[in-house]
């Protein structure tokens, strides 16, 4: 059940920097179409060039094309090479971004490369009793093959105030747990919050985070940032009171405009749903062209002729918005 939901969502997670998202692991699907027909798409093979790739049409389709009944997923052996787990308290946002850029330059591919800003760390301490160091620049959580450990230490030199290296499996799990609970720690900080999900080019990381923090000041809002920083996927959490809902929406839209300007995406793994339809339309029209959105809408119409699968949402809604506002 959970894997089918993750496929329909096109979900990701902490290890995506090395292993990719759901789209990289789905080989074949059995799907119930809106017509009532059950079809098998693809084959459980690593290589298959017979016909169009309909499998990945359904990955991330958000319930608009059919219902996923079964899935054949790729599996690989667990890695045997020793890993090192590092928790580094960086000097500032620029330092965190520089670490990621330098790792890319040195062709270092980590298993995990995560970031939590200072507001997230404070929330972990305050609301979950984490008892970890509070650092103005936040912290990087990196898991890396032992062969590249010395390179990582060299990269962190001058960019981190303190580096903690896990000495046991228990400590590794503790670091992982801190990052996994970050969003939970933020919930008591406000009545409501948008857990956002944007992606920017690696080279634009520090600029994007800085711009978001400036917007937070402009709107007098809390905007703690959690990030799958290794692949440019940022989760700015807009925390607000119930009466500030409209203000929070304005802040969200401004953040998305920055992302689109940078050639990024308004969603990396959480999906579009209802909230992001308008900004998705803007992103696709600006970066790909109205014709691409038109093609997507035609696919929806062909697959779901009676329009019974999540009608008026996702691609269909984005197409309508784009057409009405003449984004063409």
Residue-range domains of the chain with CATH: 2-73 (3.30.465.10), 80-187 (3.30.70.2190), 277-324 (no CATH)
As to burial, measured by CB atoms within 10 angstroms (0-12 exposed, 13-18 middle, 19+ buried), residue 249 is: middle
Q: Mean pLDDT throughout 215-236? A: 94
pLDDT interval class at 202 (50, 70, 90): very high
Strand, helix or coil at 24? helix
Q: Which pLDDT tens digit goes with each residue over 69-115?
A: 999 999 999 999 999 999 999 999 889 999 999 999 999 999 999 99
pLDDT value, residue 206: 87
Strand, helix or coil at 119? helix
Average pLDDT taken over every residue of the chain: 94
As to burial, measured by CB atoms within 10 angstroms (0-12 exposed, 13-18 middle, 19+ buried), residue 294 is: middle
Q: Which pLDDT tens digit goes with each residue over 289-324?
A: 999 999 999 999 999 999 999 999 999 999 999 998
Residue 2 has pLDDT above 80, yes or no: no
Residue 328 has pLDDT above 60, yes or no: no
pLDDT interval class at 148 (50, 70, 90): very high
Residue 223 has pLDDT above 60, yes or no: yes
Residue 18 has pLDDT above 90, yes or no: yes
* CA dist., res. 294 & res. 200, Å (int): 25
Helix axes 93-105, 149-156, angle to 10 degrees: 140
pLDDT value, residue 241: 87
DSSP 8-state class, residue 222: B
Residue 171 has pLDDT above 80, yes or no: yes
- Percent over 90 (pLDDT), the chain: 88
Q: Which pLDDT tens digit goes with each residue over 248-295?
A: 999 999 999 999 999 999 999 999 988 899 999 999 999 999 999 999
* CA dist., res. 316 & res. 60, Å (int): 14
Residue 224 has pLDDT above 80, yes or no: yes
Q: Which pLDDT tens digit goes with each residue over 158-167?
A: 999 999 999 9
Residue 325 has pLDDT above 90, yes or no: no
pLDDT value, residue 230: 95
Residue 327 has pLDDT above 80, yes or no: no
Residue 1 has pLDDT above 60, yes or no: no
């Amino acid at each position: 059940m959970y894997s089918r939901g993750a496929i329909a969502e096109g979900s990701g997670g902490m290890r995506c920097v090395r292993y990719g998202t759901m789209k990289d692991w789905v080989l074949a699907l059995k799907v119930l179409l809106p017509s009532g027909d059950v079809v098998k798409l693809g084959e459980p093979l690593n290589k298959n060039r017979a016909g169009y790739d309909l499998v990945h049409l359904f990955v991330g389709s958000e319930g608009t094309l059919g219902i996923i009944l079964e899935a054949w997923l790729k599996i690989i052996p667990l890695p045997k090479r020793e890993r090192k787990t590092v928790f580094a308290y960086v000097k500032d946002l620029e330092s965190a971004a520089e670490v990621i850029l330098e790792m890319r330059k040195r062709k270092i591919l980590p298993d995990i490369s995560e970031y939590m800003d200072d507001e997230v760390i404070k929330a972990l301490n305050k609301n979950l009793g984490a008892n970890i160091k509070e650092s103005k620049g936040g912290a990087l959580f990196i898991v890396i093959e032992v062969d590249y450990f010395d390179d990582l230490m060299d990269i962190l030199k001058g960019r981190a105030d303190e580096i903690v290296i896990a000495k046991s499996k228990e400590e590794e799990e503790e670091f992982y747990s801190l990052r996994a609970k970050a969003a939970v720690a933020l919930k008591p900080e406000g009545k409501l919050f948008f857990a956002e999900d944007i992606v920017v080019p690696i080279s634009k990381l520090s600029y994007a985070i800085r711009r978001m923090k400036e917007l937070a000041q402009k709107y007098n809002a809390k905007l703690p940032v959690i990030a799958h920083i290794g692949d440019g996927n940022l989760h700015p959490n807009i925390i607000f009171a119930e009466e500030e809902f409209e203000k929070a929406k304005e802040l969200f839209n401004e953040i998305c405009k920055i992302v689109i300007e940078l050639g990024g995406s308004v969603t990396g793994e959480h999906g579009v749903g209802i909230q992001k339809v308008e900004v998705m339309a803007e992103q696709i029209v600006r970066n790909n062209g109205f014709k691409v959105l038109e093609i997507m809408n035609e696919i929806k119409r062909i697959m779901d002729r009676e329009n019974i699968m999540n009608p008026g949402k996702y691609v269909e809604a984005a197409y309508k918005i784009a057409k009405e506002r003449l984004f063409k």
